[in-house]
Amino acid sequence: MGCHKIFLDTSCANFPAISLYKKQGYFVEAKLKNHWLKWNYDLIGKFL
């Protein structure tokens, strides 16, 4: 498919998910303040 990067977002308060993603090689790229439903989210990415 030619993809070179994966992005996802999760709530900043979802510590178990963030920990799991980091163990899989993802990293936090940005903090999204008041994003979905006025919640704070982390934008997470990984190069393939």
Q: What is the pLDDT of residues 11-48, one digit of tens each?
A: 999 999 999 999 999 999 999 999 878 899 999 999 99
Q: Tell me the two tokens of residue 18.
A: 């963030």
Identify the helix (H) or strand (E) that includes residue 17.
Answer: helix 15-23
Tokens 């903090």 locate to 31
Query: What are the extents of the domains in the chain?
Result: 5-47
Ramachandran bin of 20, using left for φ above 0, alpha for ψ from -120 to 50, beta for the remaining angles? alpha
Nearest to 31 by CA among 8, 12, 6: 12
- Model pTM above 0.85: no
